């Protein structure tokens, strides 16, 4: 009896949320670009999960993230039966690199954005909620990080940490959390003024509870939008760092590295300038599609969730 009461109550309380959700879903369905975005992302997630099946590492191969290669012949080979996408210089299999590179990209993207969001939620909500000196101090700190263009600061950090995938992730987290923190802080600031916060506080809710139950749920949407747009940007920055030699070790399955391998083969011999097209077109397509997917998704989120644009 208590149980049935609980469910009915839940349904009643949740009704507006569910209605909004349904509305959101409808909007998503009616926007073709959003569907494309979601489809792309799901496609990549599927590849990442199925990587061991799609591109099994050779028997006895110790680390599946190191791309297998037969010998070290410097010249890339075109697509063939054994190497569906061809090979890069030193014979790294492009197909293998792109498939397992999907895992790397998603891993880097989610870890960086996820950790950045977590850090920023803590710092941003503290700054926004308590205000005053704490806020000033924290915001000055983020200002300092904002004083540097992303790639430049990331370069400096990775150079200092020593190039490796972990360094890149650490550096990117350090460089991205400030922008999320700013957003959370802004949202917290505006929500803070609302009456229901006053009400909650007056009945004795602890600060923590107020923040978690009332402030955050209402501030999270802009963050979601930023985060999804950022996953694409993060992967691009990681690729740029790999290109500058500041990424994972040579031979690691990473899209940025595959592009870096292609760097000197973009212009082929005079009679056949696009001879090695597969070294840069294929990994490039992976990166581009991935970034496109997240962009479309992010734009879709914005168009759908932004209250001012929501109902036209």
Partner 1 sequence: MELKHYIIRRILLLIPTLIGVTLLIFAVIQLFSPVERAALYIRDPRQAKDLPGIIKKYHLDEPVYVQYYYWLREVLKGNLGYSKSVNMPVFDAILNFFPATIELVLYSAPLIVLLGIKLGVLAAIHKDKAADHLTRVSSIIGWSLPSFWLGILLLAIFYGQLGMFPPERLGTEASVYVNSPNFIRYTKINTIDALLNGQLWIFIDALKHLVLPVASLTIQIVALIVRIMRSSMLEALNRGYVLAARAKGLEEHDVIYKHARKNALIPVFTVTGILLAGMLTGVIITETVFNYKGIGYWAAHAATQLDIPAVLGFALLAGVIFVFTNLIVDILYAYIDPRVRLG
Partner 2 sequence: MAPTDKFIPVLASEVPTVENGLISSDGLTYTFPIRKGVKFQNGEPLTPEDVEYSFKRAMVQDRDGGPVWMFLEPLLGVYSTRDEEGNIVVPFEKIDKAVEVDGDNVIFHLKMPYPPFLQILCQSWSSIVCKKWCIEHGDWPGTAETYPKYNNPEVPPLQEIAMGTGPFKLERWEHGVEYSLVRNDDYWRGPAKIKRVIVKKIDEWSTRKLMFQAGDVDICYVPRLYMKEVENLPGIINVKNLPELMVSALFFTFEIDPTSPHIWSGKLDGDGIPPDFFKDKDVRLGFAYSFDWETFIRDAWAGEAVQRPTPVIEGLPYFNPDQKGYYLDLKKAEEHFKKAWNGELWDKGFKMTLLYNIGNEYRRISAEIWKRNIESLNEKFFIYIRGVEWPLFLKDMVASKLPAFRVGWIADYPDPHNFVHPFMHSEGAFAAWQHYKNPHVDELIEEGIKTIDPDKRREIYYELQKIYVEDCPSVITVQPLGRRWFRDWIQGWYHNPIYPGFYFYDLWKGY
How far apart CA 11 and CA 182 sit, in angstroms, is: 35
Please tell me whether residue 205 binds partner 1 under the rule CB under 8 A. Answer: no
Phi, psi for 168 (deg, rounded to 5): -60, -45
Binding residue for partner 1, selected from 41, 138, 216, 246, defined by CB under 8 A:
246
Binding residue for partner 1, selected from 15, 73, 143, 198, defined by CB under 8 A:
143
Residue with tokens 């970034």: 291
In the region spanning residues 62 to 91, those forming contacts with partner 2, defined by CB under 8 A, are 62, 71-75, 89-90
Please tell me whether residue 173 binds partner 1 under the rule CB under 8 A. Answer: no
Report in angstroms how near the CB of residue 112 gets to partner 2 at its nearest: 23
Please tell me whether residue 58 binds partner 2 under the rule CB under 8 A. Answer: no
Cβ 35 vs Cβ 29: under 8 Å: yes
Bridge partners, 69 (sequence order): 92
Report in angstroms how near the CB of residue 269 gets to partner 2 at its nearest: 5
Please tell me whether residue 221 binds partner 1 under the rule CB under 8 A. Answer: no
Dig out the tokens for 261 from the structure: 């391998």
How far apart CA 199 and CA 232 sit, in angstroms, is: 40
Binding residue for partner 1, selected from 52, 149, 217, 249, defined by CB under 8 A:
149
How many Å is the Cα radius of gyration of the chain?
24
Helix 32-54 / helix 2-30 crossing angle, nearest 10 deg: 100
Pick from 86, 112, 110: which is nearest to 277 by CA?
86
Chain-centre distance for alpha carbon 115: 11
Dihedral Cα 245, 247, 250, 253, nearest 10 deg: -140
Which is nearer to partner 2, 120 or 242 (by Cβ)?
242
Please tell me whether residue 270 binds partner 2 under the rule CB under 8 A. Answer: yes
In the region spanning residues 20 to 39, those forming contacts with partner 1, defined by CB under 8 A, are 33
In the region spanning residues 195 to 224, those forming contacts with partner 2, defined by CB under 8 A, are none
Sequence-ordered alpha helix ranges (H) in 147-254: 150-161, 165-192, 195-202, 207-209, 216-243
Please tell me whether residue 236 binds partner 1 under the rule CB under 8 A. Answer: yes
- Which residues contribute to the site for partner 1 (CB under 8 A)? 33, 140-141, 143-153, 155-157, 159-161, 163, 232, 236, 239-240, 243-246, 259, 263, 266-267, 270, 273, 280, 284, 287-288, 291-292, 295, 299, 302, 308-309
What is the contact surface with partner 2 in residues (CB under 8 A)?
A: 60, 62, 71-75, 89-90, 162-163, 245, 249-251, 263-264, 266-270
């Amino acid at each position: 009896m208590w149980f049935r009461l609980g469910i009915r109550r839940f349904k009643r309380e949740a009704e507006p949320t569910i209605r909004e959700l349904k509305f959101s879903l409808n909007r998503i369905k009616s926007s073709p670009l959003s569907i494309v975005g979601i489809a792309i992302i799901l496609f990549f997630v599927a590849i990442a999960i199925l990587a061991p099946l799609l591109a099994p590492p050779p028997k006895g191969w110790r680390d599946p993230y190191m791309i297998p290669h037969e010998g070290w012949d410097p010249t890339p080979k075109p697509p063939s039966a054994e190497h569906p996408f061809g090979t890069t210089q030193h014979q790294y299999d492009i197909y293998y690199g792109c498939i397992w590179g999907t895992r790397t990209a998603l891993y880097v993207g989610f870890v960086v954005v996820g950790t950045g969001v977590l850090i920023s939620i803590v710092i941003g909500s503290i700054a926004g909620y308590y205000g005053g000196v704490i806020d000033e101090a924290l915001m000055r700190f983020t200002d300092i990080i904002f004083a540097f263009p992303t790639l430049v600061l990331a370069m400096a950090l990775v150079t200092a940490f020593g190039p490796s995938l972990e360094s890149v992730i650490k550096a990117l987290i350090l460089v991205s959390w400030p922008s999320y923190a700013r957003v959370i802080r802004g949202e917290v600031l505006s929500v803070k003024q609302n009456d229901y916060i006053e009400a909650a506080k007056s009945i004795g809710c602890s600060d923590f509870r107020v923040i978690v139950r009332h402030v955050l749920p209402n501030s999270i949407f802009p963050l979601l939008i930023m985060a999804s747009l950022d996953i694409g940007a993060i992967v691009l920055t990681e690729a740029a760092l790999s290109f500058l030699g500041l990424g994972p070790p040579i031979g690691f399955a990473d899209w940025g590295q595959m592009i870096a391998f292609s760097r000197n083969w973009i212009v082929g011999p005079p009679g056949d300038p696009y001879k090695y097209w597969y070294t840069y077109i294929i990994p490039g397509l992976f990166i581009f599609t991935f970034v496109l997917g997240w962009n479309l998704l992010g734009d879709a989120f914005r168009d759908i969730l932004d209250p001012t644009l929501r109902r036209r």
